[in-house]
């Protein structure tokens, strides 16, 4: 069965391509290489012994999307990762985010509505919850007004998919990720942040490697155990496996509703200082960091209630925070060697 993975050479996309191939799917990866590199194909090959079909084009070009689906009329499902995802950048450049994250989604969905039956997995985010009132966060927690254009594009994306499902044959699963970290245990693929990393873990590994002078810890005056903000850090391979399970659910027509939503996290919250301590343990070296002021737009706490994904998808995150951090550190050392 042929599965299309948009953003298939990206961080989560490439790990999902590997897991799809491991399950025997034929994979077509689409990527415009704006935030990835064709070298990722070699990494995938080194892991699975197969390269996905790769097509380089931009999903913002409607004609290119139409042409693709005209040539691939045997698509069993689409997993849609392709999107811009830096919160800070989205505040500076909202139109880039609305064009890339919304237009591309619309063009892909337009082609799916032409198929007899379509199965669609959408890369969403815990960002849609904003600062949820209650921890751990369940899927029916209220959706808060978005704190950034990035978060807004995820909320709008979910609404578009819901509206489309009501009047078409497109069946969808929305996967709301918490904080994806780590790299494939083989260190053949991983996170390739271009420029200064926005996210905590790549900044930690680059600091540990000596590429950054020190980590700035954004605030230690939050109402948490040690004053630093709490997140749910999930290994990217666990996340990738959840996508394959979700796609199989649709292919096997096991979905109860035309749009289903699942939180993908470990169910455990970790503070920034706890992540630093865990990293120092797995890397066996002290991390140079400094407490500074809070980052604009950050929330205090977010970690997932994973009952729905555990009980309905039959999926549970396997990797511990330390294992995830160890894989991120192994990757950092590999790409700098
Ligand atoms: C984590 C914690 C920071 C960097 C982002 C996206 C979200 C989702 C997950 C895609 C926070 C602190 C960070 C640093 C720090 N992505 N931090 N120093 O903001 O929780 O969520 O990734 O779906 O959409 O917004 O992740 O890694 O940026 O921050 O102290 O140099 O680490 O304040 O508490 P975040 P993050």
Identify which of 287, 312, 278 has the alpha carbon closest to the alpha carbon of residue 181: 278
pLDDT at 297: 84
Q: Is the CB of 212 under 6 A from ligand 1?
A: no
Pocket test for ligand 1, best of 205, 235, 295 (most atoms within 8 A of CB): 295
Sign of torsion over alpha carbons 322, 183, 197, 139: negative
Query: For residue 302, which atom of ligand 1 is closest to its CA?
Result: 20
Q: Which atom from ligand 1 is nearest to the alpha carbon of 299? A: 34
pLDDT in tens, the chain (337 residues): 999 999 999 999 999 999 999 999 999 999 999 999 999 999 999 999 999 999 999 999 999 999 999 999 999 999 999 999 988 889 999 999 999 999 999 999 999 999 888 999 999 999 999 999 999 999 999 999 998 999 999 999 999 999 999 999 999 999 999 999 999 999 999 998 778 999 999 999 999 999 999 999 999 999 999 999 999 999 999 999 999 999 999 999 999 999 999 999 999 999 999 999 999 999 999 999 999 999 988 999 999 999 999 999 999 999 999 999 999 999 999 999 8
CA 205 to centroid of ligand 1, rounded, Å: 14
The closest residue, in CA terms, to atom 31 on ligand 1 is 200
In the reported structure, the alpha carbon of residue 227 is separated from the centroid of ligand 1 by a whole-number distance in angstroms of 16
Could you tell me if the CB of 124 is within 6 A of ligand 1? Answer: no
Global pTM value: 0.97
In this predicted model, what pLDDT tens digit does every residue of 74-109 receive, in sequence order? 999 999 999 999 888 899 999 999 999 999 999 999
pLDDT value at residue 296: 85
Among protein residues, the one with the nearest Cα to ligand 1's atom 8 is 179
**pLDDT tens digits, one per residue of 221-238:** 999 999 999 999 999 999
295 lines ligand 1 (CB under 6 A): yes
Atom of ligand 1 nearest to the CA of 125: 23
pLDDT of residue 337: 87
The confidence score (pLDDT) of residue 207 equals: 98
Q: How far is CA 9 from CA 54, 63, 171, 264, 317, in A?
A: 9, 22, 24, 21, 23
Q: What percent of the chain has pLDDT over 70?
A: 100
Q: 179 C-alpha to center of ligand 1: Å?
A: 7
Whose CA is closest to atom 28 on ligand 1?
A: 199
Q: Pick the atom of ligand 1 nearest to 297's CA.
A: 19
Find the 45 Cα to ligand 1 centroid distance in Å: 31
Residue nearest to atom 19 of ligand 1 (CA): 298
Q: What is the pLDDT of residue 153?
A: 97
> How far apart are alpha carbons 329 and 208 in whole angstroms?
9
Which domains, and CATH codes, for the chain? 2-180+234-265+304-311 (3.40.50.720)
Look at residue 89 in the predicted model and tell me its pLDDT: 87
What amino acid positions are annotated as catalytic residues?
150
> How many whole angstroms from 3 Cα to the centroid of ligand 1?
30
Encode burial over 38-52: b for 16+ CB neighbours within 10 A, e otherwise: eebbebbeebbeeeb
Taking CA atoms only, the protein residue closest to ligand 1 atom 18 is: 217
Q: Report yes or no: 251 and 77 within 8 Å, Cβ to Cβ.
A: yes
- Interval 174-197: pLDDT, tens: 999 999 999 999 999 999 877 899
């Amino acid at each position: 069965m042929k599965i299309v993975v948009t953003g298939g050479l990206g961080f989560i996309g490439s790990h999902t391509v590997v897991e799809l191939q491991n399950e025997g799917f034929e994979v077509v990866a689409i990527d415009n290489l704006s935030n990835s590199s064709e070298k990722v194909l070699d990494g995938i090959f080194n892991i699975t012994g197969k390269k996905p079909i790769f097509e380089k084009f931009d999903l913002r070009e409607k004609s290119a999307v139409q042409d693709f689906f005209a040539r691939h009329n045997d698509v069993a499902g689409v997993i849609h990762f392709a999107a811009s995802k830096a919160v800070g950048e989205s505040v500076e450049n909202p139109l880039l985010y609305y064009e890339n994250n919304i237009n591309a989604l619309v063009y892909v969905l337009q082609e799916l509505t032409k198929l007899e039956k379509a199965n669609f997995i959408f890369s969403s985010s815990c960002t849609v919850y904003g600062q949820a009132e209650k921890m751990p966060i369940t899927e029916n927690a209220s959706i808060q007004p978005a704190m950034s254009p990035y978060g807004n594009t995820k909320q709008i994306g979910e609404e578009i998919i819901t509206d489309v499902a009501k009047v078409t044959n497109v069946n969808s699963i929305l996967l709301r990720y918490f904080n994806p970290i780590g790299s494939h245990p083989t260190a053949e693929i991983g996170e390739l942040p271009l420029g200064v990393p926005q996210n905590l873990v790549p900044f930690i590994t680059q600091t540990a490697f000596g590429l950054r002078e020190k980590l700035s810890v954004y605030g230690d005056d939050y109402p948490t155990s040690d004053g630093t903000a709490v997140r749910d850090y999930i290994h990217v391979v666990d996340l990738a496996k959840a996508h394959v399970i979700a796609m199989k659910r649709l292919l096997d027509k096991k979905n109860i509703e035309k749009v289903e939503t699942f939180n993908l996290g470990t169910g455990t919250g970790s503070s920034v200082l706890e992540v630093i301590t865990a990293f120092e343990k797995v890397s066996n070296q002290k991390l140079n960091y400094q407490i500074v002021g809070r980052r604009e737009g950050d929330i205090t706490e977010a970690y997932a209630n994973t009952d729905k994904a555990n009980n309905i998808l039959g999926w549970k995150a396997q990797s511990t925070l330390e294992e995830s951090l160890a894989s991120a550190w192994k990757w950092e050392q590999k790409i700098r060697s």
